[in-house]
């Protein structure tokens, strides 16, 4: 009997490489490759503890420290998602330390 191949009802966000930021961290003892879907970046920001934003506000000059909040970062992400999707392959962060530590964030 002929069977129809079942199509998935949704596309997995983790396997959709077209719209994922790839985060790579490599040290002598540790390697991490984490594909982060662009659509989940706002969700990830909401899980950052408030004390991280407080620490960033301490190191920011006075007129700008009021802008560093979860709400403003989420709003910026929502506005920039289209631009992030257009610039596929752009490497936003590339750091290589003398001790061999490597960090890369690529769209």
Please report which confidence band the pLDDT of residue 12 belongs to, taking 50, 70 and 90 as the band edges.
very low
* Predicted pLDDT at 35: 85
* Predicted pLDDT at 4: 54
> pLDDT digit string (tens) for 37-75?
877 777 777 788 888 888 888 888 888 888 888 888 888
Provide DSSP, the chain.
---PPPPPSS--TTT-GGGEEEEEEE-SS-EEEEEEEGGGHHHHHHTS-HHHHHHHHHTS-HHHHTT-SHHHHHHHHHHHHHHHHHTTT-EEEEEE-TTS-EEEEE-
Over 60: is that where the pLDDT of 3 sits? no
Please report which confidence band the pLDDT of residue 97 belongs to, taking 50, 70 and 90 as the band edges.
confident
Domain spans of the chain?
19-106
């Amino acid at each position: 009997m002929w069977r129809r191949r079942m199509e998935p009802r949704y596309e997995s966000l983790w396997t959709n490489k077209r719209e994922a930021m790839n985060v790579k961290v490599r040290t002598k003892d540790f390697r991490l490759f984490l594909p982060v879907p662009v659509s989940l970046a706002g969700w990830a920001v909401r899980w950052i503890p408030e004390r991280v934003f407080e620490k960033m506000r301490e190191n920011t000059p006075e007129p700008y420290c009021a802008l560093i909040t979860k709400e403003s970062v989420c709003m910026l992400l929502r506005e920039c998602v289209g631009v992030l999707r257009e610039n596929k392959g752009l490497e936003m962060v590339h750091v290589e330390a003398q001790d061999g530590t490597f960090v890369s964030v690529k769209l």
